[in-house]
């Protein structure tokens, strides 16, 4: 899977995704301080799934109609990088199977999946 990881995604998560064979473009390495609309455009243009902790992407997709290949919003309530990685690893099979064309919100004990229409609304 091709992924664009926002700057706020933990390095441990990026490393794990890469070790799992995913092509990860990490904004912290390649698009430092890029505005959110630019990141969503890069993800769409390169057919990448966007992984972020930033709530603004929900507004960009649903309120402003920005088209996205798929978005994973990480909303884990833990300060530990290790715990966030462990939670994502446990939820990843469901996420991976459903993320294209969907906006997925990951919380500690649940995953919410909502379709993204072609127009982004």
pLDDT tens track for 20-56? 999 999 999 987 788 999 999 999 999 999 999 999 9
CA–CA gap between residue 7 and residue 111 (Å, rounded): 22
Q: What pLDDT is stored for residue 118 in this prediction?
A: 60
Which residue matches tokens 């969503």?
A: 40
Q: How far apart are the first and last CA of the chain?
A: 24
pTM: 0.91
Which residue matches tokens 């990026």?
A: 14
User: What Cα–Cα distance (Å) separates residue 120 from each residue in 1, 12, 13, 16, 39?
Assistant: 21, 30, 27, 29, 15
């Amino acid at each position: 899977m091709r992924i664009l990881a926002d700057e706020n995604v933990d390095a441990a998560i990026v490393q794990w995704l890469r070790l799992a064979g995913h092509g990860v473009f990490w904004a912290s390495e390649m698009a430092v301080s890029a505005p959110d609309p630019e990141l969503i455009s890069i993800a769409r243009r390169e057919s990448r799934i966007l992984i972020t902790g930033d709530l603004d992407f929900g507004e960009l997709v649903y309120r402003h109609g920005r088209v996205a290949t798929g978005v994973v919003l990480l909303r884990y309530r833990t300060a530990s990088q290790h715990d966030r990685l462990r939670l994502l690893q446990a939820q990843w099979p469901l996420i991976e199977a459903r993320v294209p064309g969907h906006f997925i919100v990951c919380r500690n004990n649940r995953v919410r999946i909502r379709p993204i229409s072609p127009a982004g609304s």
